[in-house]
Amino acid sequence: ETGVTQSPTHLIKTRGQQVTLRCSSQSGHNTVSWYQQALGQGPQFIFQYYREEENGRGNFPPRFSGLQFPNYSSELNVNALELDDSALYLCASSLENPGTGELFFGEGSRLTVL
């Protein structure tokens, strides 16, 4: 148990819809990162938030956006869903920024886009 919780665990959407995924970071962790993991692939970095500001972004289009709240919890929003957005979305928190990069992952939200 890492103390990072994500919701929902599974969801199904149709193409063109919007989705919001939520993450509560481990107590005391001020940095949250989001990753997308397609089936059979390694996690791909989407973006990172540190003290409520975006602090790094991977190669994802602007329809992927996020928020971090004062309690360090976070949201990932994806607009205009596409079939290729079907994946496991992983949230991870870390204690320091910059730090060693050791991440504490939640169990993920599995998104299926039909």
Residues that bind another protein (CB under 8 A): 2, 4, 31, 33, 35, 40-45, 48, 50, 55-56, 59, 88, 90, 92, 94, 96-108, 110
Report the C-alpha gap between 107 and 114 in whole angstroms.
22
Distance in Å from the first CA to the final CA of the chain: 32
Q: Which residue has the tokens 């973006």?
A: 47
Examine residue 98 and say whether the peptide bond preceding it is cis (omega within 30 degrees of 0).
yes
Instruction: Report, in Å, the least distance between residue 16 CB and another protein.
Output: 26
d(CA 54, CA 15): 27
The continuous run of DSSP H or E covering 78 comes out as strand 74-78
Q: Alpha carbon 29 to chain centroid distance?
A: 15
Pick 59 or 71: Cβ nearer another protein:
59
The least distance separating another protein from the CB of residue 1, rounded to whole angstroms, comes to: 10
Q: Which is nearer to another protein, 26 or 80 (CB)?
A: 26
Shortest Cβ 7–another protein spacing (Å): 13
Q: Which is nearer to another protein, 73 or 97 (CB)?
A: 97
Shortest separation between residue 85's beta carbon and another protein, angstroms: 17
